[in-house]
Protein backbone atom coordinates (compact mmCIF):
# COMPACT_ATOMS: atom_id res chain seq x y z
CA UNK A 1 0.00 0.00 0.00
CA UNK A 2 2.82 2.38 0.87
CA UNK A 3 4.71 1.59 -2.35
CA UNK A 4 1.55 2.19 -4.36
CA UNK A 5 1.08 5.61 -2.72
CA UNK A 6 4.77 6.41 -3.21
CA UNK A 7 4.61 5.61 -6.95
CA UNK A 8 1.40 7.63 -7.26
CA UNK A 9 3.03 10.73 -5.76
CA UNK A 10 6.16 10.31 -7.86
CA UNK A 11 4.03 10.14 -11.02
CA UNK A 12 2.39 13.45 -10.08
CA UNK A 13 5.78 15.17 -10.16
CA UNK A 14 8.87 12.93 -10.18
CA UNK A 15 11.28 15.81 -9.51
CA UNK A 16 9.51 17.80 -6.82
CA UNK A 17 10.36 16.78 -3.26
CA UNK A 18 8.56 19.80 -1.81
CA UNK A 19 4.97 18.85 -2.59
CA UNK A 20 2.64 20.06 0.16
CA UNK A 21 -0.22 17.69 0.93
CA UNK A 22 -3.20 18.35 3.19
CA UNK A 23 -4.85 15.11 4.34
CA UNK A 24 -8.60 15.18 4.87
CA UNK A 25 -8.68 13.46 8.26
CA UNK A 26 -11.82 12.39 10.11
CA UNK A 27 -10.25 10.17 12.77
CA UNK A 28 -11.54 7.01 11.07
CA UNK A 29 -9.57 4.01 9.81
CA UNK A 30 -9.51 5.08 6.15
CA UNK A 31 -8.28 8.63 6.64
CA UNK A 32 -6.08 7.46 9.53
CA UNK A 33 -4.31 5.03 7.23
CA UNK A 34 -3.91 7.74 4.60
CA UNK A 35 -2.47 10.14 7.17
CA UNK A 36 0.01 7.52 8.38
CA UNK A 37 1.15 6.78 4.82
CA UNK A 38 1.52 10.49 4.05
CA UNK A 39 3.65 11.07 7.14
CA UNK A 40 5.87 8.16 6.07
CA UNK A 41 6.38 9.85 2.69
CA UNK A 42 7.49 12.97 4.54
CA UNK A 43 9.87 11.03 6.78
CA UNK A 44 11.40 9.48 3.65
CA UNK A 45 11.86 13.07 2.38
CA UNK A 46 9.65 12.52 -0.66
CA UNK A 47 7.29 15.41 0.17
CA UNK A 48 7.20 18.48 2.39
CA UNK A 49 5.72 18.27 5.86
CA UNK A 50 2.01 17.48 5.46
CA UNK A 51 -0.93 18.88 7.39
CA UNK A 52 -4.32 17.47 8.33
CA UNK A 53 -7.74 19.03 7.78
CA UNK A 54 -10.61 18.05 10.07
CA UNK A 55 -14.24 19.02 9.54
CA UNK A 56 -16.44 19.05 12.63
CA UNK A 57 -19.99 18.73 11.30
CA UNK A 58 -21.48 19.29 14.77
CA UNK A 59 -24.09 16.58 14.21
CA UNK A 60 -23.26 14.12 17.00
CA UNK A 61 -23.12 16.19 20.17
CA UNK A 62 -20.57 14.87 22.68
CA UNK A 63 -19.25 12.37 20.15
CA UNK A 64 -18.21 15.24 17.85
CA UNK A 65 -16.37 16.90 20.73
CA UNK A 66 -14.62 13.65 21.64
CA UNK A 67 -13.70 12.97 18.02
CA UNK A 68 -12.13 16.41 17.59
CA UNK A 69 -10.09 15.86 20.76
CA UNK A 70 -8.88 12.51 19.37
CA UNK A 71 -7.89 14.09 16.03
CA UNK A 72 -5.86 16.76 17.84
CA UNK A 73 -4.03 14.08 19.83
CA UNK A 74 -3.14 12.02 16.74
CA UNK A 75 -1.85 15.03 14.79
CA UNK A 76 0.20 16.18 17.77
CA UNK A 77 1.71 12.69 17.93
CA UNK A 78 2.75 12.92 14.29
CA UNK A 79 4.03 16.46 14.85
CA UNK A 80 1.98 17.93 12.01
CA UNK A 81 -0.26 20.98 11.72
CA UNK A 82 -4.01 20.54 11.99
CA UNK A 83 -6.68 22.76 10.45
CA UNK A 84 -10.06 22.43 12.18
CA UNK A 85 -13.17 23.71 10.38
CA UNK A 86 -16.49 23.82 12.22
CA UNK A 87 -19.59 23.46 10.03
CA UNK A 88 -23.20 24.37 10.83
CA UNK A 89 -24.66 21.62 8.66
CA UNK A 90 -28.20 21.65 10.07
CA UNK A 91 -28.79 25.37 9.51
CA UNK A 92 -27.38 25.18 6.00
CA UNK A 93 -29.51 22.13 5.13
CA UNK A 94 -32.68 23.82 6.42
CA UNK A 95 -31.92 27.04 4.58
CA UNK A 96 -31.28 25.25 1.28
CA UNK A 97 -33.94 22.56 1.69
CA UNK A 98 -31.48 19.70 1.18
CA UNK A 99 -30.42 16.61 3.14
CA UNK A 100 -27.79 16.89 5.87
CA UNK A 101 -25.65 14.48 3.82
CA UNK A 102 -25.69 16.82 0.80
CA UNK A 103 -25.30 19.92 2.98
CA UNK A 104 -22.20 18.50 4.67
CA UNK A 105 -20.61 17.69 1.31
CA UNK A 106 -21.35 21.15 -0.14
CA UNK A 107 -19.96 22.93 2.92
CA UNK A 108 -16.80 20.82 2.91
CA UNK A 109 -16.06 21.51 -0.73
CA UNK A 110 -16.68 25.20 -0.23
CA UNK A 111 -13.97 25.25 2.46
CA UNK A 112 -11.70 22.99 0.43
CA UNK A 113 -11.37 25.84 -2.08
CA UNK A 114 -9.73 27.95 0.63
CA UNK A 115 -7.47 25.08 1.72
CA UNK A 116 -6.44 24.36 -1.87
CA UNK A 117 -4.79 27.78 -2.13
CA UNK A 118 -2.25 26.80 0.53
CA UNK A 119 -1.43 23.25 -0.59
CA UNK A 120 -0.44 21.48 -3.78
CA UNK A 121 -2.83 18.59 -3.17
CA UNK A 122 -5.66 17.57 -0.86
CA UNK A 123 -5.55 13.82 -0.18
CA UNK A 124 -8.78 11.97 0.58
CA UNK A 125 -9.17 8.42 1.86
CA UNK A 126 -11.70 7.08 -0.65
CA UNK A 127 -11.32 3.39 -1.50
CA UNK A 128 -12.80 0.95 -4.01
CA UNK A 129 -15.82 0.18 -1.80
CA UNK A 130 -16.62 3.91 -1.77
CA UNK A 131 -16.37 3.96 -5.55
CA UNK A 132 -18.76 1.03 -5.94
CA UNK A 133 -21.27 2.76 -3.65
CA UNK A 134 -20.87 6.01 -5.59
CA UNK A 135 -21.42 4.35 -8.97
CA UNK A 136 -24.51 2.51 -7.70
CA UNK A 137 -25.92 5.66 -6.09
CA UNK A 138 -25.30 7.77 -9.20
CA UNK A 139 -26.94 5.25 -11.52
CA UNK A 140 -29.98 5.00 -9.26
CA UNK A 141 -30.50 8.77 -9.41
CA UNK A 142 -30.21 8.99 -13.17
CA UNK A 143 -26.54 9.70 -13.83
CA UNK A 144 -25.07 9.58 -17.30
CA UNK A 145 -21.53 8.63 -18.34
CA UNK A 146 -19.92 11.10 -15.95
CA UNK A 147 -21.72 9.74 -12.89
CA UNK A 148 -21.14 6.12 -13.90
CA UNK A 149 -17.39 6.80 -13.99
CA UNK A 150 -17.46 7.08 -10.21
CA UNK A 151 -14.71 8.68 -8.13
CA UNK A 152 -11.68 10.02 -9.98
CA UNK A 153 -8.26 9.18 -8.58
CA UNK A 154 -7.16 12.72 -9.43
CA UNK A 155 -9.44 15.74 -9.86
CA UNK A 156 -7.67 19.07 -9.88
CA UNK A 157 -5.93 19.32 -6.52
CA UNK A 158 -7.87 16.40 -5.03
CA UNK A 159 -6.08 13.04 -4.97
CA UNK A 160 -7.37 9.63 -3.80
CA UNK A 161 -4.27 7.43 -3.47
CA UNK A 162 -6.15 4.51 -1.84
CA UNK A 163 -8.87 4.20 -4.49
CA UNK A 164 -7.60 0.83 -5.76
CA UNK A 165 -7.73 -0.75 -2.28
CA UNK A 166 -10.77 -2.22 -0.52
CA UNK A 167 -12.12 -1.19 2.85
CA UNK A 168 -10.96 -4.56 4.21
CA UNK A 169 -7.39 -4.07 2.96
CA UNK A 170 -7.21 -0.64 4.55
CA UNK A 171 -8.58 -1.99 7.81
CA UNK A 172 -5.91 -4.73 7.78
CA UNK A 173 -3.18 -2.11 7.26
CA UNK A 174 -4.51 -0.09 10.19
CA UNK A 175 -4.45 -3.15 12.45
CA UNK A 176 -0.96 -4.27 11.39
CA UNK A 177 0.46 -0.80 11.92
CA UNK A 178 -1.46 -0.23 15.16
CA UNK A 179 -3.17 2.89 13.88
CA UNK A 180 -5.68 4.20 16.38
CA UNK A 181 -9.02 5.35 15.03
CA UNK A 182 -12.55 6.15 16.14
CA UNK A 183 -15.83 4.79 14.81
CA UNK A 184 -18.39 7.29 13.55
CA UNK A 185 -21.77 6.22 14.97
CA UNK A 186 -23.58 7.90 12.07
CA UNK A 187 -22.15 5.26 9.71
CA UNK A 188 -24.82 2.80 10.86
CA UNK A 189 -27.76 5.21 10.53
CA UNK A 190 -29.87 4.09 7.59
CA UNK A 191 -31.44 7.51 6.96
CA UNK A 192 -28.28 8.33 5.03
CA UNK A 193 -28.31 7.05 1.42
CA UNK A 194 -24.72 5.79 1.50
CA UNK A 195 -25.36 3.82 4.66
CA UNK A 196 -28.45 2.16 3.20
CA UNK A 197 -26.44 1.10 0.16
CA UNK A 198 -23.53 -0.15 2.28
CA UNK A 199 -25.43 -1.81 5.12
CA UNK A 200 -28.68 -3.00 3.52
CA UNK A 201 -28.71 -2.99 -0.29
CA UNK A 202 -25.24 -4.38 -1.03
CA UNK A 203 -25.51 -7.25 1.50
CA UNK A 204 -28.88 -8.19 -0.04
CA UNK A 205 -27.44 -8.15 -3.59
CA UNK A 206 -24.41 -10.15 -2.46
CA UNK A 207 -26.72 -12.76 -0.96
CA UNK A 208 -29.36 -12.93 -3.70
CA UNK A 209 -27.77 -11.81 -7.00
CA UNK A 210 -24.03 -11.25 -7.12
CA UNK A 211 -21.61 -11.97 -4.30
CA UNK A 212 -19.00 -9.84 -6.10
CA UNK A 213 -21.19 -6.79 -6.76
CA UNK A 214 -18.55 -4.25 -5.69
CA UNK A 215 -15.93 -5.62 -8.08
CA UNK A 216 -18.55 -5.74 -10.83
CA UNK A 217 -19.46 -2.10 -10.29
CA UNK A 218 -15.81 -1.06 -10.16
CA UNK A 219 -15.11 -2.93 -13.41
CA UNK A 220 -18.12 -1.29 -15.01
CA UNK A 221 -16.86 2.08 -13.78
CA UNK A 222 -13.46 1.52 -15.42
CA UNK A 223 -15.07 0.57 -18.75
CA UNK A 224 -17.32 3.63 -18.71
CA UNK A 225 -14.34 5.85 -17.82
CA UNK A 226 -12.44 4.55 -20.86
CA UNK A 227 -15.42 5.32 -23.11
CA UNK A 228 -15.91 8.75 -21.57
CA UNK A 229 -12.21 9.61 -21.93
CA UNK A 230 -12.30 8.64 -25.61
CA UNK A 231 -15.37 10.80 -26.30
CA UNK A 232 -13.85 13.71 -24.38
CA UNK A 233 -10.65 13.46 -26.39
CA UNK A 234 -12.36 13.58 -29.78
CA UNK A 235 -14.66 16.40 -28.63
CA UNK A 236 -11.81 18.76 -27.62
CA UNK A 237 -11.33 20.28 -31.07
CA UNK A 238 -15.08 20.83 -31.50
CA UNK A 239 -15.30 22.38 -28.03
CA UNK A 240 -12.66 24.97 -28.87
CA UNK A 241 -14.56 25.88 -32.05
CA UNK A 242 -18.08 26.30 -30.71
CA UNK A 243 -17.65 27.23 -27.01
CA UNK A 244 -16.33 30.52 -25.62
CA UNK A 245 -15.69 30.77 -21.89
CA UNK A 246 -15.41 33.65 -19.47
CA UNK A 247 -15.49 33.94 -15.67
CA UNK A 248 -18.61 32.12 -14.52
CA UNK A 249 -20.30 31.60 -17.87
CA UNK A 250 -19.95 29.90 -21.25
CA UNK A 251 -21.47 30.72 -24.62
CA UNK A 252 -22.07 27.86 -27.06
CA UNK A 253 -22.80 28.13 -30.77
CA UNK A 254 -26.29 26.64 -30.99
CA UNK A 255 -26.24 25.52 -34.64
CA UNK A 256 -22.87 23.85 -34.18
CA UNK A 257 -24.04 22.17 -30.97
CA UNK A 258 -27.33 20.68 -32.24
CA UNK A 259 -25.57 19.23 -35.31
CA UNK A 260 -23.45 16.95 -33.12
CA UNK A 261 -24.10 13.34 -32.16
CA UNK A 262 -25.78 12.93 -28.71
CA UNK A 263 -22.62 11.60 -27.01
CA UNK A 264 -20.60 14.56 -28.33
CA UNK A 265 -23.30 17.01 -27.21
CA UNK A 266 -23.19 15.59 -23.69
CA UNK A 267 -19.39 15.81 -23.58
CA UNK A 268 -19.42 19.42 -24.85
CA UNK A 269 -22.11 20.34 -22.33
CA UNK A 270 -20.20 18.79 -19.42
CA UNK A 271 -17.04 20.67 -20.41
CA UNK A 272 -18.95 23.93 -20.80
CA UNK A 273 -20.36 23.55 -17.29
CA UNK A 274 -16.94 22.78 -15.84
CA UNK A 275 -15.55 25.87 -17.57
CA UNK A 276 -18.02 28.04 -15.64
CA UNK A 277 -16.70 26.66 -12.33
CA UNK A 278 -19.85 24.70 -11.47
CA UNK A 279 -19.06 22.14 -8.77
CA UNK A 280 -21.39 19.56 -10.32
CA UNK A 281 -22.42 19.07 -13.94
CA UNK A 282 -26.04 18.14 -14.76
CA UNK A 283 -26.99 14.48 -14.44
CA UNK A 284 -28.52 12.49 -17.30
CA UNK A 285 -32.08 13.63 -16.60
CA UNK A 286 -31.21 17.33 -16.37
CA UNK A 287 -28.99 17.02 -19.45
CA UNK A 288 -32.00 15.71 -21.39
CA UNK A 289 -34.11 18.64 -20.14
CA UNK A 290 -31.37 21.10 -21.13
CA UNK A 291 -31.19 19.57 -24.61
CA UNK A 292 -34.96 20.04 -24.95
CA UNK A 293 -34.60 23.74 -24.05
CA UNK A 294 -31.78 24.19 -26.55
CA UNK A 295 -34.01 22.85 -29.33
CA UNK A 296 -36.78 25.37 -28.56
CA UNK A 297 -37.15 28.96 -29.74
CA UNK A 298 -34.81 31.76 -28.67
CA UNK A 299 -35.48 32.96 -25.13
CA UNK A 300 -36.08 29.51 -23.65
CA UNK A 301 -34.47 28.86 -20.29
CA UNK A 302 -33.76 26.02 -17.87
CA UNK A 303 -32.44 26.88 -14.45
CA UNK A 304 -31.70 25.52 -11.01
CA UNK A 305 -30.49 27.23 -7.88
CA UNK A 306 -26.89 26.83 -9.08
CA UNK A 307 -26.99 27.51 -12.81
CA UNK A 308 -29.07 28.62 -15.79
CA UNK A 309 -29.06 27.56 -19.44
CA UNK A 310 -30.82 29.83 -21.93
CA UNK A 311 -30.99 30.42 -25.66
CA UNK A 312 -30.52 33.77 -27.35
CA UNK A 313 -30.53 33.67 -31.12
CA UNK A 314 -27.76 31.31 -32.13
CA UNK A 315 -26.21 31.38 -28.65
CA UNK A 316 -26.61 28.97 -25.74
CA UNK A 317 -25.69 30.81 -22.54
CA UNK A 318 -24.64 28.78 -19.48
CA UNK A 319 -24.28 30.75 -16.26
CA UNK A 320 -22.89 29.57 -12.93
CA UNK A 321 -25.06 31.65 -10.60
CA UNK A 322 -22.65 31.19 -7.72
CA UNK A 323 -19.48 31.83 -9.64
CA UNK A 324 -20.30 34.54 -12.18
CA UNK A 325 -17.71 37.29 -12.17
CA UNK A 326 -17.99 40.16 -14.63
CA UNK A 327 -14.32 40.94 -15.27
CA UNK A 328 -15.14 44.08 -17.19
CA UNK A 329 -12.83 46.92 -16.17
CA UNK A 330 -13.54 50.62 -16.28
CA UNK A 331 -10.72 53.10 -16.68
CA UNK A 332 -11.01 56.87 -16.25
CA UNK A 333 -8.86 58.98 -18.56
CA UNK A 334 -8.32 62.57 -19.64
CA UNK A 335 -7.35 61.49 -23.16
CA UNK A 336 -9.90 60.96 -25.87
CA UNK A 337 -9.27 57.30 -26.48
CA UNK A 338 -12.27 56.12 -24.45
CA UNK A 339 -15.60 54.90 -25.67
CA UNK A 340 -17.93 56.94 -23.43
CA UNK A 341 -17.80 60.38 -21.81
CA UNK A 342 -19.82 62.33 -19.24
CA UNK A 343 -20.55 65.96 -18.61
CA UNK A 344 -19.20 66.09 -15.04
CA UNK A 345 -21.51 68.95 -14.06
CA UNK A 346 -24.57 66.78 -14.79
CA UNK A 347 -23.53 63.99 -12.41
CA UNK A 348 -25.40 64.37 -9.13
CA UNK A 349 -23.31 63.47 -6.10
CA UNK A 350 -21.14 60.35 -6.12
CA UNK A 351 -20.71 58.06 -9.10
CA UNK A 352 -20.74 54.39 -8.13
CA UNK A 353 -21.14 50.91 -9.57
CA UNK A 354 -24.18 48.92 -8.61
CA UNK A 355 -27.07 46.69 -9.57
CA UNK A 356 -30.41 47.94 -10.86
CA UNK A 357 -33.97 47.34 -9.72
CA UNK A 358 -36.94 46.50 -11.93
CA UNK A 359 -38.30 50.01 -11.36
CA UNK A 360 -35.21 51.84 -12.62
CA UNK A 361 -35.45 53.89 -15.80
CA UNK A 362 -32.83 55.14 -18.22
CA UNK A 363 -32.65 57.81 -20.94
CA UNK A 364 -30.74 56.28 -23.87
CA UNK A 365 -28.19 58.63 -25.40
CA UNK A 366 -29.78 60.75 -28.12
CA UNK A 367 -33.28 60.45 -26.67
CA UNK A 368 -35.22 62.74 -24.34
CA UNK A 369 -37.72 60.34 -22.79
CA UNK A 370 -36.90 57.87 -20.02
CA UNK A 371 -37.55 54.20 -20.71
CA UNK A 372 -37.68 51.15 -18.50
CA UNK A 373 -34.27 49.54 -18.39
CA UNK A 374 -35.77 46.20 -19.42
CA UNK A 375 -36.93 47.82 -22.70
CA UNK A 376 -33.56 49.48 -23.28
CA UNK A 377 -31.74 46.15 -22.87
CA UNK A 378 -34.29 44.35 -25.04
CA UNK A 379 -33.84 46.94 -27.81
CA UNK A 380 -30.08 46.40 -27.58
CA UNK A 381 -30.67 42.64 -27.83
CA UNK A 382 -28.85 41.91 -24.57
CA UNK A 383 -29.55 38.27 -23.57
CA UNK A 384 -31.99 38.20 -20.60
CA UNK A 385 -29.79 35.67 -18.80
CA UNK A 386 -26.91 38.17 -18.67
CA UNK A 387 -28.80 41.35 -17.82
CA UNK A 388 -28.56 41.21 -14.05
CA UNK A 389 -24.81 40.63 -14.30
CA UNK A 390 -24.10 43.75 -16.38
CA UNK A 391 -22.16 46.70 -15.06
CA UNK A 392 -24.24 49.73 -14.13
CA UNK A 393 -23.10 53.18 -13.01
CA UNK A 394 -25.39 55.48 -11.11
CA UNK A 395 -25.15 58.79 -9.31
CA UNK A 396 -27.26 59.81 -6.31
CA UNK A 397 -30.41 60.17 -8.44
CA UNK A 398 -30.30 57.96 -11.52
CA UNK A 399 -28.63 55.32 -13.66
CA UNK A 400 -26.10 57.07 -15.91
CA UNK A 401 -24.37 54.17 -17.66
CA UNK A 402 -25.33 50.62 -18.65
CA UNK A 403 -22.87 48.15 -20.09
CA UNK A 404 -24.09 47.38 -23.59
CA UNK A 405 -26.37 50.44 -23.78
CA UNK A 406 -23.90 53.27 -23.16
CA UNK A 407 -24.40 56.53 -21.28
CA UNK A 408 -27.62 58.32 -20.43
CA UNK A 409 -28.64 61.50 -22.26
CA UNK A 410 -28.99 63.04 -18.81
CA UNK A 411 -25.19 63.22 -18.47
CA UNK A 412 -24.22 63.49 -22.12
CA UNK A 413 -21.97 66.20 -23.53
CA UNK A 414 -23.56 69.25 -25.16
CA UNK A 415 -22.44 72.68 -26.43
CA UNK A 416 -22.18 74.06 -22.90
CA UNK A 417 -20.07 71.24 -21.49
CA UNK A 418 -16.85 72.39 -19.84
CA UNK A 419 -15.58 69.35 -17.92
CA UNK A 420 -15.61 65.90 -19.45
CA UNK A 421 -14.94 62.54 -17.80
CA UNK A 422 -14.04 59.76 -20.21
CA UNK A 423 -14.78 56.10 -19.49
CA UNK A 424 -12.86 53.30 -21.14
CA UNK A 425 -14.53 49.88 -20.93
CA UNK A 426 -12.09 46.96 -21.15
CA UNK A 427 -12.71 43.20 -21.37
CA UNK A 428 -16.36 43.83 -22.28
CA UNK A 429 -18.05 40.42 -22.16
CA UNK A 430 -20.82 41.65 -24.44
CA UNK A 431 -18.43 42.77 -27.17
CA UNK A 432 -16.58 39.49 -26.87
CA UNK A 433 -19.60 37.26 -27.41
CA UNK A 434 -22.49 39.30 -28.84
Cβ neighbours of residue 346 closer than 8 Å, sequence gap 6 or more: 410, 411, 412
Q: What is the CATH architecture assignment of 219-320?
A: Up-down Bundle (1.20)
Give ranges for CATH 3.40.50.620 in the chain.
2-125+161-211
Q: Please give the pLDDT value at position 332.
A: 45
In tens, the pLDDT along 257-273 reads 999 999 999 999 999 99
Write down the CATH number for the domain with range 2-125+161-211.
Answer: 3.40.50.620
Which pLDDT value is given to residue 179? 97
Q: Which residues contact 250 (CB under 8 A, 6 or more apart)?
A: 243, 244, 272, 273, 275, 276, 317, 318
Residues in the chain: 434
Q: With cut-offs at 50, 70 and 90, classify the pLDDT of residue 378.
A: confident
Residue 283 or residue 251, greater confidence: 251
> Which is it for strands 399-402 and 243-246: parallel, antiparallel or unpaired?
unpaired
| Residue 326 near residue 401, CB atoms below 8 Å | no
- Using the predicted structure, report yes or no on whether residue 325 has a pLDDT greater than 80: no
Residue range(s) of every CATH 3.50.40.10 domain in the chain = 329-433
pLDDT tens string 183-213: 988 888 887 888 999 999 999 999 999 999 9
Residue 374 has pLDDT above 90, yes or no: no
Cα 1 to Cα 78, 127, 347: the distances in Å are 19, 12, 69
Residue 427 has pLDDT above 50, yes or no: yes
Comparison of pLDDT for 203 and 350, the residue scoring more: 203
Q: What mean pLDDT comes out for the span 281-301?
A: 90
- Residue 155: CB atoms within 10 Å: 11
The most confident of 114-123, 344-353, 359-368, 395-404, by mean pLDDT:
114-123
Does residue 96 carry a pLDDT above 70? yes
Number of H helices, E strands in the chain: 17, 20
CA atoms within 13 A on the CB side of 315: 19
Strand extents, DSSP E, 87-153: 121-123
Do 253 and 314 contact (CB within 8 A), yes or no? yes
Tell me 50's DSSP state. P
**Percentage of residues of the chain with pLDDT beyond 90:** 54
Domain with CATH 1.20.59.20 in the chain: 219-320
Give how far the C-alpha of residue 59 lies from the chain's centroid of Cα atoms, to the nearest Å: 25
CATH architecture of the domain formed by 329-433: 3-Layer(bba) Sandwich (3.50)
User: How many percent of the chain have pLDDT more than 70?
Assistant: 92
Confidence of residue 241 (pLDDT cuts 50, 70, 90): very high
- Give the pLDDT mean for 68-72: 96
Taking the C-alpha atoms of residue 53 and residue 78, their distance in angstroms, rounded to an integer, is: 14
Amino acid sequence: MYNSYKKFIQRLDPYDKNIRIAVSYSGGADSGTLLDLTVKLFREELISKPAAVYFNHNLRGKESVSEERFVKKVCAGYGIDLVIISLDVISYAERKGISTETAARELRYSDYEMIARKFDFIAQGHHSDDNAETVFFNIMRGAGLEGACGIKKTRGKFIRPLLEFTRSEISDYAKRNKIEYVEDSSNIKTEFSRNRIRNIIFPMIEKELNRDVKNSLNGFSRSVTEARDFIDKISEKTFSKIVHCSAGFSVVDRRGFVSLEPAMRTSILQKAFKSTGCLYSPDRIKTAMINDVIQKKSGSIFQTEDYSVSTHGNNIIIINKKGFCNKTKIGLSEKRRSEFFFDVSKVKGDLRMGRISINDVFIPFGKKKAEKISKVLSDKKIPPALRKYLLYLRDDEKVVFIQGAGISSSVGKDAGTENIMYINVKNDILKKFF
